[in-house]
Amino acid sequence: MSTLVKAARAPSIRALSTARLIKDNKAPHLNFRSFLSALREQGDLVDVKRSVDPNLEVAAVTRRVYEAHAPAPLFHNVSGTDLRSGLFKILGAPVGLRKDKRELYGRMAIQLGLPVSATARDIVEKLIEARKAKPLEPVTVSASGAPCKENILRGDQVDLTKWPIPRLHEHDGGNYLATYGFHILQSPDKAWNSWSISRTMHIAGAPRSLTAPVMPGQHIAQVHKMWADNGARDVPWALVLGGPPAAAFVGGMPLPSGVSEDGYIGALSGSPMEVVKCETNDLMVPANAEIVIEGRINTKTRVPEGPMGEYHGYMFHDNPVSEPLFEVDCVTYRNEPVVPICVAGKAADETHTVWGSAISAEILAALREAGFPADFAWMPFEAQSCWIVVSVDIKKLAKMNITKEELSHRAGEIIFQSHGGWEAPKIFLVGNDVDITDAHELIWAVASRYRPGADELVFEDPVGIPMLPYMTRASKKEVPNPGKGGRSVVNLLLPSEFEGERPWVHGSFEGSYPAEVKDRVVKSWTEYGFKEEHV
């Protein structure tokens, strides 16, 4: 058990008992091992004992799991694992979807401390609620009590070439050690602790070298630039694999620049995390992490990175991109560590379940703060994290005395200027009679309410993620800068909705029959000869 020393920047938690802190840090949302146990107990984990090849086989199994909504695979016997060090087992699809529609978002819910029956709205509202709460800063524990310090490799003891780092897609430019791990950096003035997810590639043949995208607009790039502007050659850095599930979830969230994720995670979880100081720098990392890689990000040297199959569902045969060199100085890890991976591709994987829901929360919060009549916002998984759909409360809309074009312009202004909007190129506005988490309903609304040429407002000035296929694959003449423009708002609201009226009902079981008839049908369902699962 961890030995508490003192609260790091945390006067708000002094009243909490040691027992409470230890107990909460063993909950599934704050402890990766407990998360695995919870999945196993719920029948949502398969312990794969046969030998598997990290070269594509592990990833292929994981990708099929995503597409079948099968239980998460825990690979115990990965070829090439160092039996002496135990580095490492692999967990695939840590936040994939479940087969049972009643628990579709079950893995997401566990990571946030919610019931497995949580809905998309429950998840988004939980994330927003934590934004409003007072941060619960981490509690520092001693190295002797931190599970992540059970084993330590320093300097030349580290040899990444001997690790079973998986190759995730046939045409990837390298093997990726981290696809669901998060980077920890601190601004030079120590005011901002940035925790963010980014893929991390091993440089083939190099014992202690990695690289990762450091794109303008990302927090990792902002902190990296701060150090470079100060003339520093190296940025102190840590990479956490198998950290607290809530921390990994928040690492994919576009919080405002300057907001430290560690305190937000405490607010989200209702309990502060236990952290411990790195061996070779002053960064604080989760004490119960499976693996912590410590080192430096070089501000001068760049190396080839990628390509890799991505969140939009494509694997383009591109040349590598020049990215900073990440140099490893030390590795600390638990006994028999487990590395979670995301195999990005067609939805739904963690680039949609985690990233998409986190972006949804940030955008909905921005809309509400600006007084926009948003009832809900959601990134449909089927749209590959390229759409944000906003459900509009038409009663509130009617009080605004606003035109359709004005509403579209206002939505674009708010969203595209937010950090979440950097990752949401297409906005859809629709009345709140449509369940925007249901792709079937959304397609119905687009098909029946969109008027070509009249209902779309194009924005060519906002900057955003430079990875959209319709931008990156266009000619330089058409799109000189893939990170600028190519954004739009599609307004599906019908004229009467601006007056707060809907002179229609849905032609569905729910919408077209009185309650007494529906109740009779539901109660008599099996008497008609149907089975319970025939719904």
Measured CA distances, 388 to 187, 283, 361, 364, 457 (Å)? 31, 35, 11, 10, 15
Question: Collapsing DSSP states into helix, strand and coil, what is residue 518?
Answer: helix
Per the document, the length of the chain is: 535
CA-wise closest residue to 211 among 346, 308, 289: 308
Residue 199 burial class via C-beta count within 10 angstroms: exposed 0-12, middle 13-18, buried 19 and up: buried
> Sign of the CA dihedral 217, 222, 228, 232?
negative
Give yes or no for a contact between 261 and 194, defined as CB atoms under 8 angstroms apart.
yes
The closest of 196, 197, 216 to 465, measured between CA atoms, is 216
Is 218 labelled a binding residue?
yes
Cα(24)–Cα(269) distance, rounded to whole angstroms? 9
Annotated ligand binding at 391? The verdict is no
Judged by DSSP in three states, 280 sits in coil
Q: In which residue are the tokens 């002496």 written? A: 84
Asked if residue 142 belongs to a known ligand binding site, the reply is: no
> CA-CA distance, 441 to 409, in Å (whole number)?
25
Exposure string (b/e) for 441-462, b if CB count within 10 Å is 16 or more? bbeebbeebeeeeebebebeeb
CA nearest to 284, candidates 157, 210, 194: 194
83-100 CB burial, b ≥16 within 10 A, e <16: eebbbbbbbbbbbbbbee
Of 165, 254, 235, which Cα lies nearest the Cα of 207? 165
Is 197 known as a binding-site position?
Answer: yes
Answer for the pair 13, 272: CB distance below 8 angstroms, yes or no.
Answer: yes
Residue 186 and residue 222: Cα distance in Å, rounded?
10
Four-residue CA torsion sign, 148, 292, 112, 179: negative
Q: Per the annotation, does 194 bind a ligand?
A: yes
* Tokens (6 digits) for 266: 């405490």
The verdict on whether residue 352 carries a ligand-binding annotation is no
Q: What angle do the packed helices 350-369 and 120-132 form, to 10 degrees?
A: 60
Helix 350-369 to helix 404-416 angle, to the nearest 10 degrees? 120
The annotation status of 219 as a binding-site residue, yes or no, is: yes
What residues are annotated to the active site? 310
Question: Exposure string (b/e) for 210-238, b if CB count within 10 Å is 16 or more?
Answer: bbbbbbebbbbbbbbebbbeeebeebbbb
Residue 49: Cβ-neighbour burial (10 angstroms; 0-12, 13-18, 19+): exposed
Residues 488, 442: Cα–Cα separation, whole Å? 17
Q: Angle 120-132/261-269 helices, nearest 10 degrees?
A: 120
Helix, strand, or coil (residue 324): strand
Known binding positions: 194-199, 218-219, 261
Known binding positions for Mn(2+): 219, 261
Known binding positions for prenylated FMN: 194-199, 218-219, 261
